[in-house]
């Protein structure tokens, strides 16, 4: 049995007025194992970033529990634990231009998280090392972000996370803003770093074809609710929830003939009849979870037996 590093239980995140709140994350549960890459996929506005921000304690949670190494890390927590978590869990973002401070030089950007706790000399050494770890030259440290290409800026963002010696990295659409030609380079860098340092990733994306390449397991989220979760190949082979199927139908296939004749499936939530028969989060086969009511689960079970 693998060790659970991050455990999210019945997480709820709401925004807006207390009387009429908007529920961005609605009763979401999943575990992430040490050393794995866990994918979170779903359309724009489904709550992916909000989950990431709740884990790094930037967005307050409205319900549920988030545990890291068995310790509760949401809501009010001990100061030392807060400090510990702030270092151990790092996040990298989609748009490297917007997420880096344009007026600061690279050495400051990369060392911001250790600025108070180190002297100048140590800091310089650590910055040089972090830059080299991501394939950049130490000389770059005296330049400004606008002097770099998108791919290089994303490497700076990764260096900034790495310098903290994190255990767990939340990568929020880390390659979506990059040219196709450099996406693979950044993905390869992330996967090398993972191997070398035993890192655990939460990888957020709306692109299932990228996820297939990089994730061990994938959770599919729709409107703040996780509708399906499984090992990557299981999910691609036996997608059960209609939303997962719709997402998969948009993934390009290597066969040009079937590609041309392909019909894109559109997800229609009115296929669910949840008025009386209420949906529950169900483990339908080992490690494969789906959100559905009794009637749907029975149907899914039959499909799996085929
Ligand atoms: N600070 C906030 N205040 C109010 N509403 C918010 C806030 N942050 C997010 N939301 C809302 O919560 C929902 C989920 O947003 P979130 O950014 O998590 O989506 P996402 O899945 O990351 O989307 P994308 O793929 O576009 O990045 C959206 O409807 C968004 O408008
Ligand atoms: Mg987002």
State the DSSP string of 71-86.
EE-SSS--HHHHHHHH
Is 264 exposed, middle or buried, given 0-12, 13-18 or 19+ CB atoms closer than 10 A? exposed
Check pocket membership of 44 for ligand 1, CB cut-off 6 A: yes
* 126 phi/psi in degrees, rounded to 5: -70, -35
pLDDT value of residue 96: 67
Structure tokens at 218: 């994938």
Structure-token pair, residue 299: 């149907």
pLDDT for 180 equals 86
Ligand 1 center from residue 14 Cα (angstroms): 10
The pLDDT assigned to 220 comes to 98
| Residue located nearest, by CA, to atom 17 of ligand 1 | 49
b/e sequence 46-61, b meaning 16+ C-beta within 10 Å? bbbbbbbbbbebebeb
Q: State residue 7's pLDDT score.
A: 98
Largest CA distance in the chain: 66
Q: For residue 268, what pLDDT is reported? A: 93
For residue 97, the model assigns a pLDDT of 67
Does the pTM surpass 0.75? The reply is yes
Nearest CA residue ID for atom 28, ligand 1: 45
pLDDT on residue 234: 95
Nearest atom within ligand 1 for CA of residue 52: 18
**Ligand 1 pocket mutation pick from 48, 95, 223 by most atoms within 8 angstroms of CB:** 48
By alpha-carbon position, which residue is closest to atom 1 of ligand 1? 15
Report the relative pairing of strands 200-205 and 37-41 from DSSP bridges: parallel
Cβ of residue 45 lying under 6 Å from some atom of ligand 1: yes
Cα 279 to chain centroid, rounded: 25
Residue 246 Cα to ligand 1 middle (Å):
22
pLDDT in tens, the chain (306 residues): 579 999 999 999 999 988 899 999 999 999 999 999 999 999 999 999 999 999 999 999 999 999 999 999 999 999 999 999 999 999 998 876 677 788 899 999 999 999 989 999 999 999 999 999 999 999 999 999 899 988 999 999 999 999 999 999 999 999 988 888 889 999 999 999 999 999 999 999 998 888 998 999 999 999 999 999 999 999 999 999 999 999 998 877 777 777 777 778 889 999 999 999 999 999 999 999 999 999 999 999 999 998
Please report the sign of the dihedral spanned by the C-alpha atoms of residue 104, residue 108, residue 112, residue 115.
negative
Distance 40 CA to ligand 1 centre (A): 14
Closest-lying ligand to the alpha carbon of 42? 1
C-beta 166 within 6 A of ligand 1: no
- Residue ranges of domains in the chain, CATH in brackets: 4-305 (3.40.50.300)
């Amino acid at each position: 049995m693998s060790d659970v590093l991050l455990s999210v239980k019945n997480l709820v995140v709401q925004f807006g007025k207390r009387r009429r709140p908007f529920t961005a994350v609605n009763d979401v549960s999943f575990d992430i194992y040490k050393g794995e890459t866990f994918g979170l996929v779903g359309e724009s506005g489904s709550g992916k970033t909000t989950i990431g921000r709740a884990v790094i304690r930037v967005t307050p949670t409205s319900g549920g529990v988030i545990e890291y190494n068995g310790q509760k890390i949401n809501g009010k927590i001990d100061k030392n634990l807060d400090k510990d978590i702030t270092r151990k869990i790092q996040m990298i973002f989609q748009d490297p231009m917007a997420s880096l401070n344009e007026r600061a030089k690279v050495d400051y950007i990369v060392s911001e998280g250790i600025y108070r706790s180190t002297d100048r000399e140590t800091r310089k050494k650590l910055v040089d090392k972090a830059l080299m770890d991501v394939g950049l030259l130490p000389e770059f440290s005296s330049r400004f972000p606008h002097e770099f290409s998108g791919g290089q800026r994303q490497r700076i963002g990764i260096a900034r996370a790495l310098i903290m010696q994190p255990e767990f990295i939340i990568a929020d659409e880390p390659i979506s803003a990059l040219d196709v030609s450099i996406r693979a380079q950044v993905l390869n860098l992330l996967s090398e770093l993972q191997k070398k340092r035993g890192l655990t990733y939460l990888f957020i994306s709306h692109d299932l074809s990228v996820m297939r390449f990089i994730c061990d397991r994938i959770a599919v989220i729709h409107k703040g609710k996780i509708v399906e979760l499984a090992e990557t190949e299981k999910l691609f082979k036996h997608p059960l929830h209609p939303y997962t199927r719709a997402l998969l139908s948009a993934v390009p296939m290597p066969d040009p003939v079937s590609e041309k004749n392909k019909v894109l499936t559109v997800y229609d939530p009115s296929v669910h009849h949840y008025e009386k028969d209420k949906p529950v989060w169900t483990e339908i086969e080992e490690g494969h979870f789906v959100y559905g009511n009794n009637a749907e689960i029975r149907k899914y079970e039959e499909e799996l037996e085929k």
